[in-house]
Amino acid sequence: MQKIIISVFGPDRPGILASVSRILFEEDCNIEDVTQTILQTEFAGIFIAQIPADKSVEWIEDRLNDALNPTELKATVKVLKGAAEPALKGKQTEPFVITTRGPDRKGLVAAITGVIAGYGVNVTHLKAVFRGGDNPYDNMMIYEVDIPVDIDRQRFHQELRQKAESLGLMISLQHRTIFETINRV
């Protein structure tokens, strides 16, 4: 069986996941991973699925787009290449959460991810919401990251803090276990 990756984008409405998963089921595909979110009014979903040998990537993409076309949703399908090397190539890591809050301005994500990338830290999930203005609670970024254990974590944190201060942001770096414990309701 071949694996495919499907991205679906378009105006949000109830039933998108049901439609996509029903079509994949009807085409004898097995969904292995799904992630989806709503960005303002737009749905964004990514699926990884196995397709049977008698179906092509083009067939699946056409079936999805024929069914989704009336809803202005668009699906793109491509082959998921074989066993790729993990992002950090087997390095031992620990999961952390970086949060920032502060006034909105252009370049916030680029500035923070520049520091993150400079230390070889991998962003595994990012949620960024910018509603404009100076209210720090209207503008926040939450990065879930895997930090290699062999980097100078204190220097990394210090450089993140300096970058955040230069942008007028409040920043925190917490081990994911601590972050989840503190933020559990």
CA 177 to chain centre: 20
Q: Residue 170: which pLDDT band, with cuts at 50, 70 and 90?
A: very high
Instruction: Place 133 in a pLDDT band, splitting at 50, 70 and 90.
Output: confident
pLDDT digits (tens, 9 = 90+) for 83-106: 667 778 888 999 999 999 999 889
When pLDDT is averaged across residues 20-37 and rounded to a whole number, the result is 95
User: 77, 4 in Cβ contact below 8 A?
Assistant: yes
User: Structure pTM?
Assistant: 0.81
Residue 131: what pLDDT?
87
60 pLDDT above the threshold of 90: yes
Neighbours of 131 (CB within 10 A): 11
Per-residue pLDDT for 136 more than 80? no
Lowest average pLDDT, out of 15-24, 77-86, 111-120, 151-160, goes to 77-86
Average per-residue pLDDT for the chain = 92
pLDDT of residue 1: 76
pLDDT at 185 over 80: no
Which pLDDT score, from 0 to 100, does residue 18 have? 93
- pLDDT the model gives residue 87: 79
Residue 134: pLDDT band (50, 70, 90) is confident
